Amino acid sequence: MNILGIETSCDETAAAVVVDGERELSNVVASQFDVHVHYGGVVPELASRQHLEAITPVVREALERAGMQYADLDAVAVTYGPGLVGCLLVGLTYAKGLALALGKPFIGINHLEGHIHAVVMEQRRAGGNAELPAIAAVVSGGHTHLFLIEETVKQGYAYKLLGKTRDDAAGEAFDKVAKLLGYPYPGGPLLDQLAPFGNPHGVPLPGSRMKGNQLDMSFSGLKTAVLRHVQANDMADEIAERQKALKGIGRISVDQARQATPQATLDLIASFQSRIVEELLLRAAAAAEETGARSLILCGGVAANSGLRARFQSLAVPVYTSALSLSTDNAAMIAAAAYPRLLRGESSPLDLRAQPNLKLA
Ligand code: KG4
Ligand code: ZN
C-alpha cells in the first residue's frame, strides 16, 4: 500500500511516501527556520503563508524521490490536529483535493499518533515490534504526554492518557530557557549540544511535586528557577553580549555557541537539561511500573535530545526511539500512523475539519 503522508501542523511543510507502513521511499521536510528565526518563535500567519507556497513543490518532490506518479498512490494521509489552525488547513485542504481528484481514500491523522508511529515504523522495518502494552512518551515543543498503548483486533491501536504537563511542554521549556540565556530560536537543540560541556550537578534546580496525578509534570517552575539564577548572578551583560555575538549567524555551530558561553553558564545549561530529563524519567518509570507496560516508545522533537535518550536506557523495560530525522516533525510518521487504520478499512469524510486542540485520548 503506497501512502502519501502530508504534515503542516506547525513550521515544517512535509510530505513522504511510505510503503506498507514501514518503508519510506521519500521523506521531504521544508523547514521554515529562516523565516521565523528573526522573530524568536513561530509566527502563525507567516507559517500558513509559507505552507501555501511550499506544499505543491514539497509533495511533487516526495513523489519524484519515491519514483512514483500520483496514480501509484493508494491513499492520502494528513495531519488534522493538533496544531496551528491556519497551518493545518493548508495540508488538510491540499490532501482532500488530491484524494478527491485521484479517487483514492483520504484519512486524517492525529499529529501525536504520528510521532508514536515514527517509532513503530522503524521497529517494524527492523523486523520487530515494540512489545505491547507500551508507554509512549510524546515529548515535543507543544506536548509532553504519557500514554498507554494497547492493540486489540477489534479496535486497532488504543491510547489512554496517563499523565501530561500542566503548563509548558518540555520543548517549550528548552526553547524559553535558551531564549532567556541569549540563544536564538529554537534553542532546544543548541542547549543539547552545549550540555555535555557543563556539570549537571553545578546548579541545584528544583524538581516538581504534583498534587493529584503523580504522573503529571510541570516545567514552568524550572524555567522560573533559571530566571532567578540569572538575576541572582547578574548575568544580564553576559546574555546581551551573547545575543549580539550570535545574532544573524543563522544556523549556529557548537563551537560558535561554546565560544559565547562561559563555564558557569555551561553548568547551568547542563543542570537544566539534567533536571528536565530526570523529571521525565521519573514519570516514565512510574508509568511503566504502574501499568506493567512491556516497552517504552520515546518520541516527539525532544526525543532527539541526547541526554534524554541516554538516560532512558536505564529504564527496566526496552526503550525504542527513532532516527533523529523521524523524531522531529515529518510526514513519514503520518503515513505510518495511517497504515494500520487504512488496513482496517478506515477513512475520513471529505468534510473533516482541522482541529487545533485535537486530543489523542
Ligand atoms: O515534535 P517537534 O518537531 O514539533 C512539535 O510538534 O512541537 O518538536 C520541536 C521541539 C522544539 O521545542 C525543539 O526545541 C525541541 O523539539 N527539540 C529539542 C531537540 N531537538 C528538538 N529539544 C532538546 N534537545 C534536542 N536535541
Ligand atoms: Zn511534533
Q: Regarding predicted confidence, which is higher, 264 or 129?
A: 264
Residues 331-360, mean pLDDT to the nearest whole number:
98
10 lines ligand 1 (CB under 6 A): yes
pTM reported for the whole predicted model: 0.96
Does the C-beta of 140 come closer than 6 Å to ligand 1?
Answer: yes
Q: Going by CA atoms, what residue is nearest to atom 10 of ligand 1?
A: 141
Q: How far is CA 243 from CA 21, 52, 261, 345, in A?
A: 44, 32, 11, 53
Q: What pLDDT, on the 0 to 100 scale, is given for residue 173? A: 97
The pLDDT value recorded for residue 249 is 87
- Looking at residue 293, its amino acid is A
Q: What is the mean pLDDT of the chain?
A: 96
Q: Report residue 160 CA to chain centroid gap.
A: 19
- Please state the φ and ψ torsions of residue 191, each to the nearest 5 degrees: -65, -40
The pLDDT value recorded for residue 67 is 98
pLDDT at residue 291, rounded to an integer: 98
Surface-to-core class of residue 240, CB atoms within 10 Å of its CB (0-12 exposed, 13-18 middle, 19+ buried): exposed
Q: Answer positive or negative: Cα dihedral of 360, 76, 331, 339.
A: positive
Convert the pLDDT of each residue in 264-299 to its tens digit: 999 999 999 999 999 999 999 999 999 999 999 999
Best residue among 11, 79, 140 to mutate for probing ligand 1, ranked by most atoms within 8 Å of CB: 140
> What's the pLDDT tens digit per position in 71-96?
999 999 999 999 999 999 999 999 99
Identify the pLDDT of residue 277. Answer: 98
CA–centroid distance, residue 74 to ligand 2 (Å):
25
Query: Residue 154: what pLDDT?
Result: 86
Percent of the chain whose predicted confidence (pLDDT) is above 70: 100
pLDDT digits (tens, 9 = 90+) for 244-253: 999 988 889 9
Residue nearest to atom 2 of ligand 1 (CA): 301
- Report which ligand 1 atom has the smallest distance to the Cα of 142: 7
Helix (H, G, I), strand (E, B) or coil at 148: strand
Higher-pLDDT residue of 42, 161: 161
Residue 285 has a pLDDT of 98
Torsional class of 214: left (φ above 0), alpha (ψ -120 to 50), beta (otherwise): alpha
Grid cell, residue 290, equals: 504502574
